[in-house]
Amino acid sequence: MNGRWSSTKIWFALLLTASISGCAALKPEPKPLPAVITYISEEYLNVNTDLSEDRLAAVGITAGTSFASTYEGRTVKALLGTSYSDVERGEWIAQIEEDGNMQLAISFGHAAMELDCSVGDTLFVHPPK
């Protein structure tokens, strides 16, 4: 009887493990955050948005976090940094501006030109996985 009971315990443990793993796989991916472009700087063509620091933090994007943004089928990877020195020349960086909202830029580049976007357009920020 001990052999059968041990075998039953093993099968139960395997079934429980598979069920728990299956539940984790069913967890939906976080939805991308819409970010409306509110301003594009004239000199560097940095893209300012209405996406707040609090909304970014709520999905796990804080200083030092890399994330993806998409616009019109194009995806760029950026780092939420505190200064342009956080990334190499030509890399994408996001920063929180004085108004508390995210700006997307390229170090020594022109983000709005690269994305071909305008004020009023919406890009999407994807939470890290």
Domains of the chain: 33-126 (2.40.30.90)
Q: How confident is the model at residue 28 (pLDDT cuts 50, 70, 90)?
A: confident
Q: Using a pLDDT cut of 90, give the percent of the chain over it.
A: 76
Q: How confident is the model at residue 29 (pLDDT cuts 50, 70, 90)?
A: confident
Closest by CA to 121, choosing from 65, 59, 79, 73, is 73
More reliable by pLDDT, 93 or 129:
93
35, 113, 119, 78: CA torsion to nearest 10: 20
Residues 6 or more apart from 122 whose CB is under 8 A from it?
34, 35, 36, 37, 71
